[in-house]
Structure 1
Amino acid sequence: MLKIESLTKEMNSKIILHSISFKILPGDIVALVGPNGAGKTTIIKSILGLLNPSSGEISIDGYSISKERKKYIEQVAYVPDNQFFYEELTGRQFLSFTRELRGKDEQKGMSNEKIEQLIELLEMKEFIDQEIHTYSLGMKKSYRY
């Protein structure tokens, strides 16, 4: 569960978010909507740990971003609209690269065996060893997991 309590963000003496509170339960589908400048991106960046709140608390599954940051960050995943790829790498090389960035810790699910299971599950075997620049948009979206 994602829980946000009294989240306030102030930048350059301007209040961007004022005492925002909500929770999202597993399985919930949520849309974050509002006009430009309403604070949608600020909320997302705060949840991702890219911005520190001026006050308030954010937690995922009981892990507080301010008190247990490492455990909190391990619970966070983000799928941007425009995924970044090193287009000259093959899909397999890209997965290995992202594993290196995250660390090889088996607890994080990035073992070679897990990568092979993911390739199988997402039906990527036919193109996994091709350079990413040759992929269709749909093929690239497979890497968002």
Structure 2
Amino acid sequence: MSKTTRATQALAQAGIAFTLRPYDYDPGSERVGLQAAEALGEDPRRVLKTLMVEVDGKPGCVVIPSDQELSMKRVAAAFGGKSAQMMKPPVAERLTGFVVGGISPFGQKKRVPTAIEASAMTHATVLINGGQRGLLLELTPNDAATLTGAAAVPLVA
């Protein structure tokens, strides 16, 4: 596993402190974030998953706790749209340059509007995908929001 990804490079270039948190990725897991939290012995509320969405046909990125479900109504509102849906995996992979299960909000090929679940901002640190399967990055939620330009808003059901 490479410790250098476009995500780690983006954080380093921005001067943001982070810790690499590799884990054994289970390709058969249906819920990657929960599997990662369990593998690392972390609270799933601190392990955030990155999801790519489309709001009124435009791409967006949302970051929410791994034990939560996205509210499409809240996603649409967060991006000032009327309707939201999950982006199809092949489209998400082309847009971000990352594979599903390894999508990071940092270092995406094309920067898109990003939102982070407001409750995630209450933790001292959070773990977010580092740009490849089996690699999380631990950093402050404020640094994550700053680098991505994310608004902290309610996104979960």
Q: Which TM class, normalised by the smaller chain length?
A: under 0.3
Which is bigger in relative contact order (C-alpha 8 A, separation at least 6)?
2
TM-score under structure 2 length normalisation: 0.23
Which of the two has greater helix per residue? 1
The structure with more radius of gyration: 1
Higher strand share: 2
